[in-house]
Structure 1
């Protein structure tokens, strides 16, 4: 049974009408009700379980070219929150549009699945416990953590442009990790998955096997010589590496002149093997959306094709600022960025390395000067590869360079993709690897 009914829609519509009567040129209201359950293990034991319920709404108004917003969780106080939003708009941020656009036709995307109900409290606790026991079997002295949860939400969004659409989704998450301290050496690793539907991605044996792999490779230490070495990045690190590229496509930053890619539209900026698209209509994917926050329909687009930048991303506000057509990207960011796979398996990439580094995770990557693509960070988990075989884990290693320059080199992209976010491995022919 739906939490919201006609009376809630009527109240929101009346509130929007009141906003117009009070001088707002535009107004939008979003209501959301959600329930969630989570559990967590710490130090190998069940530590926490929680069941929560939330109700929240947000009101945004535009008055004389300025924004005001207020939120609450008491529906009866919605009109009071509207008054607060109107007052805050007097000194609010500049809005570069006055009115919301008219509604349109939208792609049918699946966000809600009843399969989430199979993840009962008992099952989540048991599944996390299975992960913990598998790690204990490797080394009972390790610090072991695990966690899982599910969430279900529903609501709707309406604005003064005539837009009114239901929203709602289901999601689950499951993961585990360990920390092994041996003398002065510390090994830590973790694996997790999440999705909107309980399907083949909910795979406990997969998580266990990947954690076992990290443990078995990680307990063997290997010495390495600093220098410019081939570096293979695992999918989670690849997602970190492309984040400055994605940020460089932000249309607002392009207009301000602070994007390093501002003059690269239609030009060769990266290796010809690099193509990135945005796919907002993937069923049950965490980032999917049929429409943006003002009601514009989303669509699949090519961001980078064969290394050539195809477009910049604009939300409704930044598009009016820059005087261009909006691309329906909330906060000027893609929904589900996907890298086109290459032709070589990641396992063959490892075999092709005479001497190189295979990086599983990084520390401190976000503290680099990523706006310009510069990075310098620690290798959290990385392996030395010699003659096509993983020798062991390296310690006290750092990598440094410029992502824009590295992605314009002779990179290789794997044909196989990580299942959760469809991310490939990427092999860089040379990267600065130093020892602390």
Structure 2
């Protein structure tokens, strides 16, 4: 059913047990002693720091450290979840007993349960998810914010600022289960953003730029973040109204990932099993134009959505979710796979206070062959969207309607800014009439190049 790519980074054996892993192993024993048939536990330990400045003055300085533990227990076909920040042995014994008591009191769930041993990940790739630097100081982060905002305010036409923010975080994750699984990894993360305004009075326009990365060296230079934010804001000045028409619409790569995000929701196994997805009957059929590929790659080095194993201890791998336009797989955790009578795909994610659910990792639309200029060169009249407003997507029917702003396309060129527009269509038709450009950039966990969609309805206000 699913197409997987066997190419993956070098793999390593599971690490030796750490103190946190020993704690989880003890918790498994206490849960079994309390009457659980099976159990799993997730430990998360994180630290972060965030600063911001506006108009040259520091506005925010936040720092946090914390750890949390979530326990899931099974009594027959019943399950319960509890979490705690108290890690003393006495507290955890009580936690396990309370969880078992809760499980005995809830209704049966025929699809719950941990993974059988034969499905567990035995080793996993080193994905370089921690840059191992010392935590940055508040001063160094503030310097990044200052450089970004200063660069934005230096752009001619910028008149005010919403500020710039820089942050850092590092999270350690350990998962243990009574089926014998034990694994953990650490992830670091940096982010930098800036938002400014251009123009005066009622003619002011706002725009932004941002960058996120696992490693500091992969973060966009602060001056570039600021210059982009300023340039984008100034370009939006003096917008015009757009006519009501049915024309080609182009989504800039800064916002095109949202379209791929709608696909991710539609192929989530839970939605498919409930019959609430507009693609529920499209498996193995063409849902995009020929040549289009959409991939989910949990093994991307330094990827913002990368993970060596999933939240149920299953191995992860690269999938061509859409291959040559054809939908090849659902995103399945164990419960969704059991509901659909299919094999799980290793897409489970979870927090410490609830059950796993399917989700993507590094989800992206593969780049096309045309540059952006070539993509729009034959459009006599059309819309180039750089910003979307509101949320008007029906996941059951695929109906799509969003507020938008951007630029009018005239004779193959971006001609003038436009705002106060609504674009509408149906995602099934939009996907089939989508053409990707060649400017794919990995900025988040869901990414797409600039895309062109034929025949959307444009309504000016």
Q: How does 1:318-397 map to 2 (within 5 A)?
A: 318-330=336-348, 331-365=357-391, 367-379=392-404, 381-397=405-421
* 36-45 vs 274-283, greater mean Cα deviation: 36-45
Q: 1:116 offset after TM fit, Å?
A: 4.2
| 1:413-436 Cα deviation digits (max 9, x unpaired) | 111212424521101122111112
| 1:283-341 Cα deviation digits (max 9, x unpaired) | 22121111111111011111111211111121012212222211111122221112121
Residue 40 in structure 1 maps to residue 52 in structure 2: yes
Q: How does 1:13-412 map to 2 (within 5 A)?
A: 13-42=25-54, 45-76=57-88, 77-89=91-103, 90-91=105-106, 94=109, 96-102=111-117, 103-114=120-131, 116-117=133-134, 119-138=136-155, 139=157, 141-180=159-198, 182-330=200-348, 331-365=357-391, 367-379=392-404, 381-409=405-433, 411-412=434-435
Alpha-carbon contact 1:280-1:335 (below 8 Å) kept: yes
Q: 1:127 offset after TM fit, Å?
A: 1.1
Alpha-carbon contact 1:116-1:171 (below 8 Å) kept: no
Q: 1:49 offset after TM fit, Å?
A: 0.8
Distance 1:229 1:261 in 2: 25
Residues 312 and 127 (structure 1 numbering): CA distance in 2 closer, same or farther, change over 3 Å? same
Residue among 411, 422, 427 paired with 2:452: 427
Residues 11 and 238 (structure 1 numbering): CA distance in 2 closer, same or farther, change over 3 Å? same
Segments of structure 1 that go 5 or more residues without pairing to the other structure are none
* 115-124 vs 314-323, greater mean Cα deviation: 115-124
Distance 1:368 1:100 in 2: 34
Residues 19 and 346 (structure 1 numbering): CA distance in 2 closer, same or farther, change over 3 Å? same
Question: How large is the Cα RMSD of the aligned pairs?
Answer: 2.2
Distance 2:380 2:226 in 1: 29
Distance 1:384 1:184 in 2: 21
SS at match of 2:179: coil
| 1:150-178 Cα deviation digits (max 9, x unpaired) | 11122421100101112221111111112
Distance 1:36 1:399 in 2: 39
Distance 2:239 2:252 in 1: 19
Distance 2:429 2:81 in 1: 41
- Relative to the length of structure 2, the TM-score reads 0.87
Alpha-carbon contact 1:62-1:95 (below 8 Å) kept: no
* 389-398 vs 345-354, greater mean Cα deviation: 345-354
SS at match of 2:196: strand
SS at match of 2:419: coil
Q: 1:389 offset after TM fit, Å?
A: 2.9
Count of paired positions: 430
* 398-407 vs 95-104, greater mean Cα deviation: 95-104
Residues 106 and 128 (structure 1 numbering): CA distance in 2 closer, same or farther, change over 3 Å? same
Q: 1:92 offset after TM fit, Å?
A: 6.2
> Higher helix fraction: Structure 1 or Structure 2?
1
Residues 362 and 427 (structure 1 numbering): CA distance in 2 closer, same or farther, change over 3 Å? same
Residues 265 and 25 (structure 1 numbering): CA distance in 2 closer, same or farther, change over 3 Å? same
Q: 1:66 offset after TM fit, Å?
A: 1.7
SS at match of 1:415: coil
| 1:341-386 Cα deviation digits (max 9, x unpaired) | 1110113324443222111110113x4324322121211x311122
SS at match of 2:124: coil
SS at match of 1:368: coil
Distance 1:155 1:254 in 2: 29
Alpha-carbon contact 2:115-2:179 (below 8 Å) kept: yes
SS at match of 1:314: coil
Distance 2:223 2:269 in 1: 42
Distance 2:344 2:158 in 1: 55
Residues 215 and 6 (structure 1 numbering): CA distance in 2 closer, same or farther, change over 3 Å? closer
Segments of structure 2 that go 5 or more residues without pairing to the other structure are 1-15, 349-356
SS at match of 1:10: helix
Alpha-carbon contact 2:171-2:188 (below 8 Å) kept: yes
SS at match of 2:361: coil
